[in-house]
Amino acid sequence: MTQIETELQLLKKEVINMWDLVRSQLLKAKSSMLNFDKDLAREVVLKERRVNGAELKIDRDCENIFALLTPVAVDLRFVLAVLKINSNLERIGDIAEGIAKYMLDVDAPFKKELLEQTFVTKMFDESINILEDTLHAFESEDTILARSVFKKDEFLDDINIRANELIEEYLNKNPADLNQALYILSVIRKLERVGDQSKNISEEIIFYLEAKVLKHKHSH
């Protein structure tokens, strides 16, 4: 194996590790929301530092690969894609942290009906699902899987659009839960961003594998 191959393999491993880390942050954020688990939420906030560290490390490695190994063609696209995927992942990490911080502020467990009627749990599952799809697409260089993310993201968008309506409906019935409902609305807004970031990641994967630029092109 040539040196650049070795280096790119290492880089890929690092990115996958970061992906796993971000995914577990989201999972923990979700768990803390469902179970009113403030310790878990605190853990997420603390671990955000590790996500940031991973981002910096990957940035530096990409820089070194550019400076020392002058990647070209597919290698060049790979490093470019990794740079952007890296910042997208870091933002997803931020989102998980943001949600966890809400959970620290909340003073009572969320009501079951609220979680169900606003589809927030479903949305959480779906956004984690999408993130996992992009990870698998990246790992196995699968552009079909990467493309499927665009479709799945529509579900998240859908809930996001209906969120105001759903929250209003719920508040009409349970006006006392105003504070809780607002938190849930914020969580929904944040989760929608996870979908967007994943979509960007998918675009980068397709760019790297097929050299096609999908940015700003598809409409949903």
Partner 1 sequence: MESTIVKAVDYNAYFGDNHVVKNVNISIPKNHVIAVMGPSGCGKTTFLRGINRMHELIPNATASGKILLNNEDVMQMHPIFVRLKIGMVFQRPNPFPNLSIYDNVIAGYKLNGIKLPKTEKDKIVEESLTKVALWKEVKDSLMKKGTFLSGGQQQRLCIARAVAMQPEVLLFDEPTSALDPISTSTVEELFHELKKNYTLIIVTHNMQQAARVSDRTAFFYMGELVEYDDTKKMFTNPKDNRTQNYITGRFS
Which residues make up the interface to partner 1 (CB under 8 A)?
2-3, 63-64, 67-70
Q: Rank residues 64 and 179 by Cβ distance to partner 1 and give the closer one.
A: 64
Residues in the chain: 220
Minimum Å distance from CB 72 to partner 1? Answer: 11
Q: Minimal CA–CA distance to 68: which of 126, 112, 4, 127?
A: 4
Minimum Å distance from CB 6 to partner 1? Answer: 9
Between CA 67 and CA 131 the distance in angstroms is: 31
Minimum Å distance from CB 18 to partner 1? Answer: 21
Between CA 75 and CA 141 the distance in angstroms is: 13
Q: Rank residues 70 and 129 by Cβ distance to partner 1 and give the closer one.
A: 70
Q: Which two tokens stand for residue 113?
A: 């009906």
Q: Rank residues 59 and 196 by Cβ distance to partner 1 and give the closer one.
A: 59
Minimum Å distance from CB 4 to partner 1? Answer: 8
Residue 207 CA: distances (Å) to CA of 8, 130, 147, 181: 17, 18, 11, 39
